Amino acid sequence: MTVAETSSAHLALAQRWISTQKPQISSLVRYGGLIDCLYVSIGRATINDLGRLCEIERECFTLEAFSRLQIAQLLENPHAISLVARVSSDIAGFIIGSIERVGEVVFGHIYTLDIAVKYRRKGIGMKLLNRLEQEFLEENVRECYLEARMNNTAALELYHKHGYARVKLLRNYYSKGSHGILLVKRLH
């Protein structure tokens, strides 16, 4: 079964599965790297990062931003993987995904990828995506999916560059007249 073949009922089932299973994600990891002479380190996000994450989320999505409570719930969900990119002590961006099981099939679902405006176009989004995919692979995820707005050029370019294929138009996914696109990538 592929993501494209998976019905929304299956996905809803997977969401319920997530909330009832025990943690499977390994604990703290830290990775570093130089981008445009900025030292960027990637590490696990914790509840202590909540304030800054909400700030960045609002900067990225304004009225449609996840609420503080939603971000807190994602950070504390044992099946979610939440990573932050730090430049010195500042959080420049974050990514949150989770592992979903439908029967024997394991999918990675990316919920959000947010980079603060002043840190954009420095490769940080790509770096976070890379790291999340690696962590998915370590958890035996072979296919990864996400939804993006049809008019979100920056995100669509980034995902295209990173090997995601557009598999489905999601009509009125965000609100009436505001369509999304389902993007999928096979991980190796």
Q: Are 95 and 112 spatial neighbours (Cβ–Cβ below 8 Å)?
A: yes
* Among 2-10, 16-24, 47-55, 107-115, the segment contacting ligand COA (CB under 6 A): 107-115
Give how many residues touch ligand COA by CB under 6 A: 19
List the one residue from 118, 161, 171, 186 that touches ligand COA (CB under 6 A).
161
Nearest to 19 by CA among 67, 70, 66, 80: 80
Please state, in angstroms and as integers, the Cα–Cα distance from residue 134 to each residue in 103, 108, 127, 128, 129, following that order. Answer: 22, 11, 11, 10, 9
Residue 120: both structure tokens together: 């954009």
Q: At residue 86, what is the residue type? A: R
List the one residue from 36, 64, 138, 157 that touches ligand COA (CB under 6 A).
157
- Binding to ligand COA by CB under 6 A, coded x per residue (else -) over 23-62, reads -------------------------------------x--
Which residues contact ligand COA (rule: CB under 6 A)? 60, 113-115, 120-126, 148, 152-155, 157-158, 161
